Amino acid sequence: MSDALLSVRDLSVEFTTYGRTQPVLHGVSLDVPARSHVALVGESGSGKTVTMKSIMGLLHMPPASISSGAILYDGRDLLTMPRRERLKLTGTDMSMVFQDPMSSLNPVFTIADQMSTILKYADRRLGRSRSRRERMQRVLEVLAQVRMREPERVARSYPIMLSGGMRQRVLIAMALLSEPRLLIADEPGTALDVTTQAQILKLLKDLVEERGLALLMITHNLGVVRETSDYVYVMHKGVVVEEAPTAELFAAPKVAYTRALIDAVPRLTGARPAERTEAAP
Amino acid sequence: MNARQSPLLEVVDLVKTFPIAGAFGGRAGEMTAVDHVSFSIRRGGVYGLAGESGSGKSTIARMIMGLFQPTGGDVLLSGANITGTLGTRAHSRQVQMVFQNPGSSLNPRRTIGQSIAVPLEAHGHPRADRRRRISELLDMVQLPASFADRYPHELSGGQKQRVAIARALAVAPQLVVLDEPTSALDVSVQARVIELLTSLGRQLDLTYLFISHDLSLMRNFADEVGVLYRGRIVESGPTARVFEQPEHDYTRLLIASVPVISAEEEALRPTIPLIDGEIPTAEKLLALRESQRATEVPKRT
Amino acid sequence: MSDELALPEDAPRLSSAYQSWYRFSRNPTAMIGLVIVVACVLAALLAPWITPYPDHVGAVVNFRARHLPPSADYWFGTDNVGRDIFTRVIFGFRVSLLLAVVVLGTAIPIGTVLGLTAGYFGGWVEIVIMRLTDIALAIPPLVMALAVAAVLSPDLVNSMLAIAALWWTWHTRLIYSITRQLRTREFVEAAETLGASKFHILFREILPNCVSAIAVKTSLDCGFVILVGASLSFLGLGIQPPTPDLGTMVASGSAFLPDYWWESVLPGCAILFVALGFNLLGDGLRDLYDVENVR
Amino acid sequence: KTVVTMNTVQIFGTIDPAKISDYTDYMAAVNLYDGLVNVDPAGNLVPELAESWTVSDDTREVVFKLRADARFSDGTPVTAADVVYSVERLLRINQGPANLFADVLKPGSVTAVDDHTVKFTLSKTFAPFLSTVPAIMVLNSKVVEANLGDDDGQSYLATHVAGAGAYTLTSWDRGSQMTIDRNPDYYKGFGPGPIDEVRWIITNDEATVRSLAASGELTMSSQYQSPETYKALEAMGRFKIVAEDTPTAFYLKLNSKVAPTDDIHIRKAIALATDYATIREVIVPGGELNGPLPKNFADFYASDLPAPVYDIEAAKAEIAKSKYTGQKIPIVLGYVAGTKFEEEISLLMQANLEQIGFVVTQQADPWNRITELASKVETSPAVNQIFFSPTYPSPDSMFFTQYHSKAAGTWSSMEWLQDPEVDKLIDDARATTDKAEQAALYKTLQHRLVDLQADVFLQTQTVQHAMDKCLDGFKAVPMQSFDYDFTKYSWTCQ
Amino acid sequence: MEFLRFLLRRVLWSLLVLVGLSMVIFIIARAVPGDPARMALGPTATQEQVADLQKKLGLDRPIVEQYGLFVVGLAHGDLGRSLLTERPVNDDIRDTFAATLELVLATIFIAVVCGVPLGVVAAYWKDRWPDNAVRLVAIFSAVTPSFFLALLLQILAGYVLHILPTTGRLPPNFDFAPGYTGLVLVDSIIAGRPDAFLEGLRYLLLPAISLAAATMGQMARITRSSMIDVSSQDYIEASRAFGVPEWVRVCKYMLRPSFVPPLTILGLEFASLIGNAFVVELVFAWPGMAAYGIRTILQKDLNAVMGVVMVSGVFFVLVNLVIDLLVGLVDPRVRIRGSRQ
Ligand SMILES: Nc1ncnc2c1ncn2[C@@H]1O[C@H](COP(=O)(O)OP(=O)(O)OP(=O)(O)O)[C@@H](O)[C@H]1O
Ligand SMILES: Nc1ncnc2c1ncn2[C@@H]1O[C@H](COP(=O)(O)OP(=O)(O)OP(=O)(O)O)[C@@H](O)[C@H]1O
Ligand SMILES: [Mg+2]
Ligand SMILES: [Mg+2]
């Protein structure tokens, strides 16, 4: 999988608090090829968000430190790359969708304001320039792309005027503003109710298919993983314990932890997890 | 429905309207959050209340708890109307609630022990015996007695949820209202909490009103469910029946949207038509159905 | 963020008082504040033994030694009748601290109870209490203080009363706004459903969550109370001479500016010193009480 | 153009002659208005609008002859009708100086005999009447009538001047300054080196006074500066410090109706325990005062009274004679809050009194509270520091207001003296027209008050002004602030 | 429409507060010792004269009736006549209010313009030296009594350095009087008098700084803690991921949502600001309403006291109304309620 767009190699991260150093990631490796939908699962606190933040360069470095490893993007190591170049990539070539649509939008600015600001500075980093009008046009275009029905109205709204599903779409739209090749989504839709969640997942799936995005989705909802992703990494206490194509993983989890995780999921059939495990082939 | 036992809780024709606050605090109108809802729970049963966010689930729970005064309708407990006694001490002895978010339902400035002691104090549990009772309760939810001296921020989400359960059970209520008790937890912790609730229910002969929008969980835990849509119960019945043969379109949409992890489950899900190549929203779907009442639901492939 | 901070279940736990002290003592500004406050309190208590001219608190006049600049004999110089200012400053802590303690000791309970009541019960109770508070807030403090002290006879007790008569408004406002937020928090509702009494909810559930705000406000207030007391003394409605009071010293010394600057500047620095101590201490307390906010 | 810039510590309350009451009010009024007569430093009446006057034998009728050339500042002649109008208006409004004429003049008492002759008919014999006449400022009745409004011209006269004074109002910014300019057509004319313009700057801030002096703007300071400021101004070289004894007396008023000052021995003890020299030399400058009357009233002054002495041993002896002997004697010392020297005097008194067995409570009150406390016997402090200056140039002003039982209940009579003998002496002097007899009565009265030890007679007030070396003319006058009549000043440099 | 109703409700409440205020002050004013009639007439007035004036002023009538008369006057915008200055109180207040207004506005300006950036700096470099420095400055300026600071500044700037005047509003005998708005700084610009502007500024500086320091310290502290709260919000983290430059994040994305607590505090601080203005105006001989107020209280000039307090009450209520509106402007969450979070 060396042709992967994003390739995390043996990443270790530790946090230093109160003078005590606590490792959080132990040699995590994963690959995200273009035009693929990769899921990263694991229980709460297993290190998913830390992995994502390391990739995006969002870790607050005083408490955190990357003790080893490399993050290759398009074959170049993000960690050793000059800061300026890296900044050029984040928010433009690689972008992310935040977990909580309720709190990830600035409540005091309109959607248009927030989105065009992002676009303005993304352009500036890439040495492009666009007039206000053009920027606004692009904003509306992207809002339409995420199937927002009335882009103009949404653009003029403050976040509080939008429903959770709409906000999540706005967040996705923000990530898509400067046509990224890699999209990292941290638990998208978990804060929404099922019907809305289903719509968002469908949207992401379509984006991968239509625009050839590489999508890394972080979640702990195995149902979501199974229904949308192509390939899964399972993480436990900062270690990737298992990786496999989605269908394979669900059909025959190799590691006990994965199995336990799958077993814990309540079933729509109503079978108690324990009973089901016995019934499984 | 099990007719073997008389219902413990009966909710009759419950209505709740809220004023809609306009900008700058004026009253712009009214919205009906709960619209003539009736259901009953048999003694020892688990009644699940499902529905999308904002459909009125918590509002019903809060009316049963006396945190909201119903606009109309009654709440009967063992046949006695408790609408007037809502929020009183006698009421709190019979009905208890575990709140949606374990973090915010514990006072951050009080220790776990102090929090658990609240119902004991309120109901005149002898002071000398409180300490013992607290460890007993903690033990019941499988927490070490030393947790009594900790502050909520020192506990994990699952632990906090268990403390909340212990506190709700402190006065041995008959009915426990669980408002999305696991939504903030991770699957593995969630499974443990549900297990705990099941065993405590059996042990203490509790009746649960279980509120969630996690349908898979509901399928496992409840023995009867009601599906709430915009303040109205659109469908109710024994769990298996509702899940296997959903009658209402909304129920179907809901079940169809649940992400699942196995093929059997998938087979169980009804399919729903895509509108404009998208999964429709509930309103859209119902509007569509309204216009083509007679048409059969096409199966999704 | 708090979940991850759970201690390992079997880690030996230190007593929570010790933990608090540990955290507190590692906060340098808080420690400085504590040291200052303790020093002032001790100085006030031990004044007769640690000051060079303890008799100068009374009616001692020595016109030959008037307006002497600070020197080895008179560390802070002498005042217009030749008394040692240093001695009077140390004794002045007594009155000023007493003033602060008494005023805040009456204003805080009143403000807290009113604020809790208005914030929790809402409705007419809220309207009545909060409008009264607004009215009281709109009265210039000095006018009110002047009036109260003037109706009753001017002495220390009455000037305290006067200041307390308007101080509660700030605390009412503060506690009210916090209570209103807390009222809808789930832990309050939880307590309600558990059958807890209103008293319990107000004072055991809500109040502990206001403590840090009160501590901070109180620490800030100490300096201001001392100042308002000073203004009253200046207008003749406060502490009567020859009893030394820091505020009075600043006010009366200011008549000799700039020639005899030490007569007002040094007592003023003493006020600043106490107020600073209380403030640093208050900030430290805030960090301490913010258990959620451990970083 | 010679300009005198003077600072004054209080704002001008009013310039309406029917309302002026305090020292600052009079300061403006004497320059903006002219009365029938004026007062000289010795307390004698001198002609102003009236060139002469005659008093009937029973003193019940006084006839003033107006100067024929007297003109108001708008050029119209001053007539007897204007005088009548002014008095009637004063009585109607019944504020300010009206109290001086309360029992003496009634509406209709003043009549115009002809254009230049006015007759005052008194309703009873009142010997000091003439000395109160300078307080009557004559209004230009036509101007007032034209601006009457619904309040007898009060609104108009609150901000405008309609008089015959030597100066006219140029600008007045309440709270900061007042400027008056010389009326070149003033009917009496001016002496050499007249002052063309007077600017009062209102500030009680020593620093401002100093900076005004430093920048060369200040010509004359107020009389209330601190010793340091006088020193600093003198050091600048441009100023001379003019100190002058005034007829203002400074007393420790002793309440004769409350403990312990109800005992004459205690009163005597307090007087003996007072360190006059220190007060005068260190705390606040002043002249000797041997009794209730300052020596400026030379004709009436009992010069045979000895000056009070400071003698702690004698004080102890007096206490031994009192009914309070042998115990700690609680006593209240009152003074005006915020006044530095009064606080110092109070401390000095406390130090001395505590030596001889008193337990002192200091009571500093703002002035308005003192006036309130003075209205009741029980609330008047046992000892209180009070300045009193004559409001008209007659000993009567000093005695009646302070010591007559009818005047009880004001801050000036906090002795609560109810002595029939004192009352009788005051009344007799009022009813006598014979000056020698009056003098004898007043001298007896002074002895009586000293024997009673009605007050501790601290000192007379010495006022100090820092004045430009080129400015001359300050002379204390025993009536209000008539000493700031700038027609009496002159600029001596070229 | 919504907005108008909101405004109307707020104004009605404010009126109620003002009515309450007038009652309280009325009672207080009547309770302060000293007979106003006697105070006005001077020491030598006779008992009859005092009674006469009392009657003229209506002081002999029942207090309720007196209050009624006062309210009737107030409704006509007439505060009566001052005993001290013999002028309509309206005129006195008009003359002095402008000076106070100028001082207070300058104070608020300084407090906001210095306090907020300091808070931002401290929050940005939290726990590093700029933060510690700002906290130290903030705590010192918050605890220094404005009265004392006024004295210190007078000594330092006035006597030691001789750079700024220590008392008054304009140089004595300066030939410029603010005419249009009453504010020297504004009027001098309108009148095209740069010299007057400079002088006005020189005189304004010390009093404004003394008055502003405490509020500035508060603003810096509140801004800091509010910024820190906001900085841990997800949306700030999110803007980082989108590559928005640091200064835009801090000065735009963080500052505006953090601005509500400082604004609210400013509204409350306003009450103590007016209180402190009473003292600072005295120290700097600033010809403002507060100094006038103190003088009239001591003289027991009832109408004037009522006038001063009512005007400062209206001012207080107005400022808080404006601040509420500003809060709505800064934070749409306040404007658009109805959906719960
Ligand atoms: N700022 C920090 N300081 C110290 N430890 C941290 C910090 N951030 C994260 N950690 C630690 O890193 C570990 C992994 O956290 P992370 O947020 O990646 O979990 P996660 O898998 O995203 O969980 P969730 O599903 O709850 O979001 C946790 O154990 C946490 O304690
Ligand atoms: N106190 C209140 N005032 C006004 N409206 C309210 C109030 N409480 C609830 N509502 C409204 O009532 C409706 C039902 O809310 P409720 O909290 O019962 O939903 P829910 O089903 O519990 O949703 P969720 O799954 O998100 O918890 C919502 O539209 C909500 O906005
Ligand atoms: Mg995470
Ligand atoms: Mg809910």
* Span A78-129, pLDDT tens digits: 888 888 888 888 878 888 888 777 788 888 888 998 999 888 888 888 888 8
Interface contact D19, partner E, CB < 8 A:
yes
Mean per-residue pLDDT over chain B, rounded: 81
Q: What is the CATH number of domain C26-58+71-289?
A: 1.10.3720.10
Distance B231 CA to ligand 2 centre (A): 10
Strand partners, B32: B17
Statement: residue B274 has pLDDT above 90: no
pLDDT band, residue B292 (cuts 50/70/90): low
Q: Mind telling me how many Å the CA of C24 is from chain D's nearest CA?
A: 44
Subunit partners of chain E (3 or more CB pairs within 8 A): A, B, C, D
Ligand 2: nearest atom to the Cα of B61: 18
Contact A183, A96 (CB under 8 A): yes
Nearest to C289 by CA among C216, C221, C181, C190: C216
Q: Where are the alpha helices (DSSP H) in E155-285?
A: 184-190, 194-231, 234-241, 246-248, 260-283
Q: Is the CB of B33 under 6 A from ligand 2?
A: yes
Nearest CA to ligand 2 atom 19: B54
pLDDT at res. D316: 93
Statement: residue D136 has pLDDT above 90: yes
Question: Which residue range is the domain that position B132 belongs to?
Answer: 7-296
Q: What is the largest CA-CA distance in chain A?
A: 63
Distance CA B101, CA B179 (A): 8
| Cα dist from D213 to C258, D8, D144, D238, D466, whole Å | 16, 14, 39, 9, 10
Interface contact C241, partner D, CB < 8 A:
yes
B23–E9: do the CB atoms touch at under 8 Å?
A: no
pLDDT tens string D292-320: 999 888 889 999 999 999 999 999 999 99
Nearest CA to ligand 1 atom 19: A45
String of b and e for D367-382 (b: at least 16 CB within 10 Å)? bbbbbbbbbeeebbbb
Spell out, as residue ranges, where chain E has pLDDT lower than 70: 1-2, 32-34, 42-45, 172-173, 298, 334-341
For residue B97, the SS3 value is strand
Distance CA A169, CA A180 (A): 16
Lookup: tokens for A87:
């900044």
pLDDT at res. D34: 94
Q: DSSP assignment, residue D138?
A: P
Statement: residue A274 has pLDDT above 80: no
CATH code for the domain in which residue B175 is found? 3.40.50.300
E328–B25: do the CB atoms touch at under 8 Å?
A: no
Statement: residue B23 has pLDDT above 60: no
Distance A45 CA to ligand 1 centre (A): 5
Residues in contact with E62: Cβ distance below 8 Å, sequence separation at least 6, in sequence order: none
CA atoms in the 13 A half-sphere facing the CB of D407? 25
Contact B157, C3 (CB under 8 A): yes
Question: Which residue range is the domain that position A148 belongs to?
Answer: 103-177
Distance CA D265, CA B285 (A): 109
Q: Is the CB of A47 under 6 A from ligand 1?
A: yes
Contact B16, B33 (CB under 8 A): yes
Mean per-residue pLDDT over chain C, rounded: 79
H or E element, residue E137 = helix E129-143
Q: Percent of chain E at pLDDT above 70?
A: 92
Our mutation pick for probing the ligand 2 site, out of B55, B62, B67, B217, counting the most ligand atoms within 8 A of Cβ, is B55
Nearest to D259 by CA among D377, D126, D108, D83: D377
Q: Percent of chain A at pLDDT above 90?
A: 4
| Cα dist from D20 to A18, D17, D129, E42, E303, whole Å | 77, 6, 19, 9, 19
Tell me which residues have their CB within 5 A of the ion that is ligand 3: A 49
pLDDT at res. A191: 67
Which position has the token pair 């009412």? C172
Facing E241 at nearest CB: one of A91, A105, A106? A91
Contact D272, D306 (CB under 8 A): no
pLDDT at res. B84: 64
pLDDT at res. C15: 52
Interface contact A125, partner E, CB < 8 A:
yes
Backbone angles phi, psi at D35, to 5 degrees: -105, -175
Mean per-residue pLDDT over chain D, rounded: 89
Contact C279, C45 (CB under 8 A): no
Nearest to A257 by CA among A276, A235, A230: A235
Centroid of chain to Cα D316: 36
Contact list in D for residue C253 (CB cut-off 8 A) is: none
Question: Chains A, D in contact: 3+ Cβ pairs under 8 A?
Answer: no
E29–C265: do the CB atoms touch at under 8 Å?
A: no
Strands (E), C165-263: none
DSSP characters over C12-55: PPPPHHHHHHHHHHT-HHHHHHHHHHHHHHHHHHHHHHHSS-GG
Distance CA B78, CA B53 (A): 30
Subunit partners of chain C (3 or more CB pairs within 8 A): A, B, D, E
Domain ranges of chain C: 26-58+71-289
Select from C1, C137, C232 the residue whose CB has the most chain E CBs within 10 Å, as the one to mutate to test that interface: C137
pLDDT at res. C20: 67
C236–D348: do the CB atoms touch at under 8 Å?
A: no
Q: Which ligand is nearest to the CA of A43?
A: 1
Region D124-146: mean pLDDT is 91
Region D59-73: mean pLDDT is 91
Facing A103 at nearest CB: one of E235, E244, E248? E235
Interface contact E247, partner A, CB < 8 A:
no
Nearest to A194 by CA among B181, B253, B238: B253
Distance CA D41, CA D249 (A): 16
Distance A236 CA to ligand 1 centre (A): 12
Interface contact D99, partner E, CB < 8 A:
yes
pLDDT at res. C280: 83
Backbone angles phi, psi at E301, to 5 degrees: -90, 85
Which position has the token pair 């379509």? A206
pLDDT band, residue C7 (cuts 50/70/90): very low
Strand ranges across the sheet with A36-42: A94-97, A182-186, A214-219, A36-42, A231-236, A239-245
pLDDT band, residue C153 (cuts 50/70/90): low
Region A155-160: mean pLDDT is 86
Residues in contact with B221: Cβ distance below 8 Å, sequence separation at least 6, in sequence order: A266, B46, B48, B194, B197, B198, B210
Q: Mind telling me how many Å the CA of D231 is from chain E's nearest CA?
A: 17
Centroid of chain to Cα B293: 32
pLDDT band, residue A1 (cuts 50/70/90): very low
C-alpha angle E335-E336-E341 in degrees, rounded to nearest 5: 120
Residues in contact with E128: Cβ distance below 8 Å, sequence separation at least 6, in sequence order: none
pLDDT tens string D89-109: 999 988 888 888 888 898 889
Distance CA E286, CA E297 (A): 17
pLDDT band, residue D37 (cuts 50/70/90): very high
For residue A47, the SS3 value is coil
Q: Is the CB of E337 under 6 A from ligand 2?
A: no
Statement: residue C293 has pLDDT above 50: no
Distance CA E313, CA C141 (A): 12
Total number of domains constituting chain A:
1
Chain C and chain D share a number of CB contacts under 8 A equal to 63
Statement: residue C9 has pLDDT above 50: no
Ligand 1: nearest atom to the Cα of A220: 25
Residue of C nearest to A16 (CA): C295
Classified by CATH at the fold level, domain E91-299 comes out as MetI-like fold (1.10.3720)
Q: Mind telling me how many Å the CA of E224 is from chain D's nearest CA?
A: 39
Statement: residue B25 has pLDDT above 80: no
One-letter amino acid of E134: V
Ligand 2: nearest atom to the Cα of B21: 4
Residue of E nearest to A174 (CA): E242
C191–B107: do the CB atoms touch at under 8 Å?
A: yes
B301 occurs within a structural domain? no
Residue of C nearest to E279 (CA): C231
Nearest CA to ligand 2 atom 29: B54
Statement: residue D467 has pLDDT above 90: yes
C residues 1-20 closer than 8 Å to A (CB): 3-4
DSSP characters over B235-272: EEEEHHHHHHS--SHHHHHHHHH---SSHHHHHHSPP-
Interface contact C153, partner B, CB < 8 A:
no
C6–B101: do the CB atoms touch at under 8 Å?
A: no
For residue A71, the SS3 value is strand
Nearest CA to ligand 1 atom 20: A45
Contact list in B for residue E328 (CB cut-off 8 A) is: 24
For residue A22, the SS3 value is strand
Distance CA E23, CA E34 (A): 20
Distance CA A145, CA A172 (A): 10
| Cα dist from E61 to D232, E51, E65, E75, whole Å | 53, 12, 6, 20
| Cα dist from A74 to A8, A32, A79, A180, A214, whole Å | 11, 10, 13, 13, 12
Q: Is the CB of B213 under 6 A from ligand 2?
A: yes
A29 occurs within a structural domain? no
